[in-house]
Amino acid sequence: MFLVDKPYLSEFFKKTIRDHGIPVVDTEIARQLGLYPGTKLISEEQAIEMAGQQDDLRIYTTSENAIGWLAKHFPVSDLPGKIDIFKNKLKFRELTKTLFPGFYFHGVRVSELRQVQFDQLPLPFIIKPAVGFFSMGVHKVSSYEEWLVACSAIIAELAQGRNLYPEEVLDTGTFIIEQCINGDEFAIDAYFDADGEPVILGIFQHPFSSNSDVSDRVYISSKEIIESNLAEFTDFIGKIGRLAGLKNFPVHVELRRDIDGALLPIEVNPMRFGGWCTTADLTFLAYGLNPYLYYFLGTKPNWPAVLRRKDEKIFSIVILDNSTGVDEKAINAFDYDKLLARFEHPIELRKIDYRHYPIFGFLFAETRAANFAELENILASDLKEFISCHNTEG
C-alpha cells in the first residue's frame, strides 16, 4: 500500500497508482492531493489491519511527511524503528560504524553550536540537521571564518524550514558534524525484497559546480553511469540492508566514492525514492522503467534490455531552487521559457509555487553527451538571470 502526502504528487505517479490498482491510504491529506478518479483507496483502519495480517506488505511513501502517520499507527511493528535508524543521521552512523570504523561524526544541539571546540574538528567537515530534507541547513566548513558564517546561516535557514516541513522530516534541534567525503557523489533508488536482497531501480550521479558546492541542482543518469556502478552499488547497499534487517523496504541512498575508490554512505532515506517524485519519474522518462510498479510487484529490472539504444545520452533532473539571494516576496516572475531555451531537449517542466516552497520548479531533460556544457551552465548559475523583480522605486 502507498501513503501519499505533501508537498507534491506528479501526474505520472497518480496515473501509475490508478492504472495498476495500487491501494492508497485514504488520509485527510490524500484527499487534498488531486488523486485521479478510480484510484483504489483504503481506509486508515483497513491499512492498519493489513499491516497486522500481511508479513510481506510493501509500503511506500511519496514524502517523508508521511512518516509521522506510520509511527502513530504502526507502533507495535518494527517499521517505525527501522525508519528512525535512517531518518536520524546520528543513529545511522552508529548503525554503520562497524562497516566504516574510521569515519568521524559528532552530534551537537543547535543551542550549542557556538560552544563547539572548533580546533578539535577535522577540516573540512559537513554540518547538517540530524533529520533533514534536501540541502536545508547543510554547510561545508573549511575554516573558522566559514564556521561562523555557517552558524549564522543555519539559524536563518531553520527559521524558514520549520514552517515548511514537519519535525519527522526536518528536526531543527540536533545537528551532525561529520568528516567531509571527497569524491564523486551518487544517488540510488532501490528496494529490499521479501528475502532482504537489494534491487536497484535507478542510479544517478550528482555533479557539483565547485568543491564548496553542497546544492542539489543537478542529478544525471546514463547507460554508462548505471552499467559501471550497478554491481558494486548493489553489493554496497546489501551490506547496509543486512545490518538493519531490511525486507520489503524502499530506499533512496546517497553515497560517495572517495579518491581511493572506497564507497562511503552519505545517508539512506527510508520508505521512498527521490523526493518530489523526481528520480523515479526520471527513470521512467529516460528508460521506460517504472520504479513504483517494480517495487509494488517485487520485480527486478532486466538492465541490459532497459539500457539498449541509450548510448551517448544523458538524462537529468534540474532542481530550480531559489539560489538567487533574492527574497521570494521581491520576485515578480520566473522566466521558464528562457530556461527551456537553454536546453536542447527538455522532456518535462514542473513549475512550483516559489512563494510557498523555495523552489521555482523541476526540469527533466535529455542531453547529448557531447553537449554536457548545457548542464554545466545551469549547475553554475545562481538563476538570477531568469527572474524579474517588483519595482521598489517610489
Per-residue pLDDT of the chain (394 residues; tens, 9 = 90+): 999 999 999 999 999 999 999 999 999 999 999 999 999 999 999 999 998 888 789 999 998 778 888 888 887 678 989 999 998 999 999 999 999 998 999 999 888 888 899 999 999 999 988 886 545 678 999 999 999 999 988 877 777 655 555 555 445 578 999 999 889 999 999 999 999 999 999 999 999 988 777 788 999 999 999 999 999 999 999 999 999 999 999 999 999 999 899 999 999 999 999 999 999 999 999 999 999 999 999 999 999 999 999 999 999 999 999 999 999 999 999 999 999 999 999 999 999 999 999 999 999 999 999 999 999 999 999 999 999 998 754 3
Structural domain contains residue 58: yes
The pLDDT tens digits for 30-53 are: 999 999 999 999 999 999 999 888
Residues 15 and 152 grouped into a single domain: no
Residues 231 and 254 grouped into a single domain: yes
Phi (first) and psi of residue 348, to 5 degrees: -155, 135
Residues 379 and 289 grouped into a single domain: yes
Q: Kindly report the CATH number assigned to the domain that includes residue 310.
A: 3.30.470.20
Residues 197 and 232 grouped into a single domain: yes
- C-alpha closest to that of 7 among 340, 353, 347: 353
Element (H, E) at 282: helix 279-287
pLDDT for position 132: 66
Among 164, 179, 194, give the residue marking a domain's end. 179
Structural domain contains residue 90: no
**Looking at the 3D structure of the chain, how many domains does it have?**
3
Residues 165 and 123 grouped into a single domain: yes
pLDDT for position 55: 77
Distances (CA, A) of 242 to 99, 149, 193: 12, 40, 12
Cα 140 from Cα 122, distance rounded (Å): 12
Residues 262 and 154 grouped into a single domain: no
Q: Kindly report the CATH number assigned to the domain that includes residue 118.
A: 3.30.1490.20
Q: How many CA atoms lie within 13 A of 126 on its CB side?
A: 23
pLDDT for position 394: 35
pLDDT for position 167: 53
Among 145, 179, 213, give the residue marking a domain's end. 179
pLDDT for position 136: 65
The identity of residue 45, as a single letter, is E
Residues 248 and 363 grouped into a single domain: yes
Residues 56 and 122 grouped into a single domain: no
What is the largest distance, in Å, between two alpha-carbon atoms of the chain?
68
Residues 124 and 190 grouped into a single domain: no
Residues 346 and 243 grouped into a single domain: yes
Structural domain contains residue 287: yes
pLDDT for position 164: 55
Alpha helices in 130-222 (DSSP H): 144-161
Structural domain contains residue 60: yes
Segments forming the whole domain that contains residue 20: 2-85
Structural domain contains residue 394: no
Cα 274 from Cα 167, distance rounded (Å): 19
pLDDT for position 209: 83
pLDDT for position 148: 93
pLDDT for position 161: 56
Residues 316 and 265 grouped into a single domain: yes
The pLDDT tens digits for 103-114 are: 999 999 888 888
Q: Are 141 and 127 a contacting pair, CB within 8 Å?
A: yes
Residues 235 and 261 grouped into a single domain: yes
